[in-house]
Amino acid sequence: MAYQNSPYGGYGGPGGFSSGMAQAGLPPGADPQLWSWFSAVDTDRSGAISAIELERALINGDWTPFDLDTVKLLMGMFDVDRSGTIGFNEFCGLWKYIKDWQNVFRYFDRDRSGTIDRNELRDALSRFGYNLSPPLIKLIQVKYASNVASNYGPALGITFDRFVRACVVIKQLSGAFQNLDTDNDGWVQISYDQFMQTVLSLP
């Protein structure tokens, strides 16, 4: 399969779909470019994209595949009819979402390294409105980095797929906390069950 000619793939790109070209069966009114990407990802020509097909199609800028957890996050968001697959209309939403995140990632990856380092992460989260302490920023960097922490070796960097997941997790967690914090004093009372449910609902 000719899966090398991605406009977003290649070293230094933020990541996204790797894809060839396929134009057969264009539905009336559909964007031909989007349809060609959709058809290229739908390798078994079933008319819908399975999680496995999506996992195979999504690559980071350094050619590593997306984490299963990020693929599941995307399936959960865009498989609107809960069929277990992504139809063409659902794909259009997914495509736009990834394109928007690519722009965000490119913007904050100031040194064009292909990963988000700690300063870039701090800037991104601050721009999103999260005022997090330096120890929290460090925790997020260590948790979502695509390599492990060591006393030497390359700095911890977050690839595109894990950056998206990190941002979604922080948004979801902060939102859940705010909903509980009805008097807005930065403290909440929470039961074991609520606590577990909040955390286990994260992607």
12 or 76, CB closer to a second copy? 76
CB 6 within 8 A of CB 18: yes
Q: How far is the CB of 29 from a second copy (least distance, A)?
A: 27
Q: Which of 1, 45, 135, 183 binds a second copy (CB under 8 A)?
A: 135
- By CB under 8 A, tell whether 133 contacts a second copy: yes
Specify burial of residue 168 (Cβ count, 10 A radius: 0-12, 13-18, 19+).
middle
- By CB under 8 A, tell whether 187 contacts a second copy: yes
Q: Which of 84, 107, 128, 155 binds a second copy (CB under 8 A)?
A: 84
- By CB under 8 A, tell whether 80 contacts a second copy: no
DSSP assignment letter at 64: P
Query: SS3 letters for 90-150?
Result: HHHHHHHHHHHHHHHHHHHCCCCCCCECHHHHHHHHHHCCCCCCHHHHHHHHHHHCCCCCC
Tell me if residue 1 falls in helix, strand or coil: coil
36 or 70, CB closer to a second copy? 70
Q: How far is the CB of 33 from a second copy (least distance, A)?
A: 26
DSSP assignment letter at 28: T
Phi, psi of 15 (to 5 degrees): 115, 165
Site for a second copy in 34-73 (CB under 8 A): 51, 67-69, 71-72
- By CB under 8 A, tell whether 25 contacts a second copy: no
- By CB under 8 A, tell whether 30 contacts a second copy: no
CB 55 within 8 A of CB 71: yes
Tell me which residues touch a second copy (CB under 8 A): 51, 67-69, 71-72, 75-76, 79, 82-85, 132-133, 135-136, 139-140, 143, 146-153, 169-170, 173-174, 177, 181, 186-193, 195-197, 199-202
